[in-house]
Amino acid sequence: METVSWVAKAGVDTQQVIDAVTLMLPDLQKVPGFKYQSLSQKEIKQETSNTDSACQWLQLYYWDTVKNAHNSNEIMAPTASLAHLISLIEPESIAIDIFIPQQQSSRLMLD
């Protein structure tokens, strides 16, 4: 499982991010080992203001192997769909990690 988290740029709304991720799906489906992904959001309070908020996003990507998870970034890097999503993101906020599942509640989730 690969986790990718980031903060959207100021002025980027929820639908813009959802649309950008949806646009990536055809490219992702061509990447060897891709199973599925999910996108989640939470509102975060900005340190510089008491009233402004930003959105932090978390994508979970499920791959069939750790190797395919690692290779996916190189394969997706040149795609226009990823470039579009990245244009909505604060670059310094991006964090990517790969985890090896150790337990699951349903075989349907990872098979």
**Which residue bears the tokens 């395919």?**
68
pTM for this structure?
A: 0.83
Number of domains composing the chain:
1
Alpha-helical runs (H) found in 1-111:
14-28, 66-76, 80-86, 107-110
Confidence of residue 103 (pLDDT cuts 50, 70, 90): confident
Query: How far, in Å, are 21, 38, 68 from residue 34 at the CA level?
Result: 15, 12, 8
Question: In the prediction, which pLDDT does 101 show?
Answer: 86
pLDDT tens per residue across span 34-78: 999 999 999 877 666 555 567 899 999 999 999 999 999 999 999
CA angle 102, 34, 61 (to 5 degrees): 55
Q: What's 32's domain CATH number? A: 3.30.70.100
Give the structural domain span for 56. Answer: 2-110
Question: In the prediction, which pLDDT does 50 show?
Answer: 53
Average pLDDT of the chain?
89
Question: In the prediction, which pLDDT does 49 show?
Answer: 54
